[in-house]
Amino acid sequence: MASSLLIAFALMLVLEGIVPFLAPATWRETFLRLARLHDGQIRFIGLTSMLAGLILLILFH
């Protein structure tokens, strides 16, 4: 279990690093736009992301 969790974390870091590595200016602009969102909008994005992840885990586990 711990090994799988570490592999998943490592994969997440690789995927999260692709856009800043390939297009740093685009990543910065996107990050600035996200920083201007209201708390409720950020929470909705977080909730949607978590639900999508849970659905994928259920479907492919």
List per-residue pLDDT tens for the chain, 61 residues long: 888 899 999 999 999 999 999 999 999 999 999 999 999 999 999 999 999 999 998 998 8
pLDDT of residue 2: 84
pLDDT of residue 1: 82
Helix axes 2-22, 24-35, angle to 10 degrees: 110
